[in-house]
Amino acid sequence: MPEQRFDPHDLAQMAPRYRARFINSLSGFKSANLVGTVDGDGRTNLSIVSSVFHLGAAPPLMGFIVRPHTVERHTLENLLETGYFTLNAVNHPHYAAAHQTSARYDRDQSEFDACGLEPRFVPGFVAPFVAQSPLRIGLRLVAHQPIALNQTELVIGEVVQVMVDDAAVQEDGYIDLEGLGVVAISGLDSYHQTDRLSRLSYAKPEHPPHRLTLSGQPEEDA
């Protein structure tokens, strides 16, 4: 297939918005999560992020990138103030509402109200969850470190609460995100459903991987 090649000069020449869309597309499909926070006065905030990533299982750690000089600044201020935040998986019926949280609302206007999403509070946990999300995670802030190269911040939280629709958790611990209708993001603004190709067995040098069922059993035994 014919291909386009871009060198540093080509990349530098791109108009800023073209480059933003192009570079944001390079990393591949991204997770779609809503970050829920609250400030010391009880004002809730909700912001979609596509940079959440797994950092480790023991202890259970997740990270994401905040741009403090954008609409995301309230999220950062709030989670630094209270020490807690939530991550709520975005599912198909609510992807447009989730996208709308990226609009630049005033601090006094909660994105929950503005975007038609419902906060849910859990006793003993200060940050708001999203009632409509099928996978809701409560995290305690454990680290934040500046990325000096571009004035972003890496935020790291330890998972302390997980609420997930019952049928999704498989017997081997895998969570069926696809069955929950969780969406993926590409670029700045494209939302996608998924269609499972397969789970694959743990890779070993001696032989190729074999396909696993949703519940993690070898397909031939299923």
Query: According to CB under 8 A, which residues from 69 to 108 bind a second copy?
Result: 87, 89-90, 92, 95-96, 99-105
**14 touches a second copy by CB under 8 A:** yes
Q: Is the CB of 42 or the CB of 208 nearer to a second copy?
A: 208
Q: Which is nearer to a second copy, 40 or 146 (CB)?
A: 146
Q: Does 205 bind a second copy (CB under 8 A)?
A: yes
Of 36-44, 55-63, 72-80, the segment contacting a second copy by CB under 8 A is 55-63
With CB under 8 A, what is the number of residues at the site for a second copy? 115
Neighbours of 168 (CB within 10 A): 16
Distances (CA, A) of 177 to 6, 56, 165, 169, 174: 35, 19, 10, 9, 9
- Tell me the C-alpha distance between 161 and 139, whole Å: 7
Check binding of 4 to a second copy (CB under 8 A).
yes
**Contact string 32-51 vs a second copy (x = CB under 8 A):** xx----------------xx
Residues 35/189, Cβ–Cβ less than 8 Å: no
Which of 92, 96, 117 minimizes the C-alpha distance to 35? Answer: 117
Nearer to a second copy, 38 or 134 (CB): 134
215 binds a second copy (CB under 8 A): no
Binders of a second copy in range 171-200 (CB under 8 A):
172-175, 177-178, 182-184, 186-200
| Binding flag, residue 53, a second copy (CB under 8 A) | yes
Q: Work out how close the CB of 82 gets to a second copy at its nearest, in angstroms, rounded to a whole number.
A: 18
3-state secondary structure of 34: strand
What lies within 8 Å, CB to CB, of 207 at 6+ separation is none
- Reading the block at residue 193, the tokens are 């459903």
Q: Which is nearer to a second copy, 80 or 214 (CB)?
A: 214
Rounded Cα–Cα distance for residues 112 and 93 (Å): 16
Q: Does 134 bind a second copy (CB under 8 A)?
A: yes
Amino acid at 10: D
- Residue 222 touching a second copy (CB under 8 A): no
Residue 121 binding a second copy, by CB under 8 A: no
For a second copy, the binding residue among 120, 144, 165, 217 (CB under 8 A) is 165
Measure the CA–CA gap between 138 and 140, rounded to whole angstroms: 7
Alpha carbon distance 33, 200 (integer Å): 25
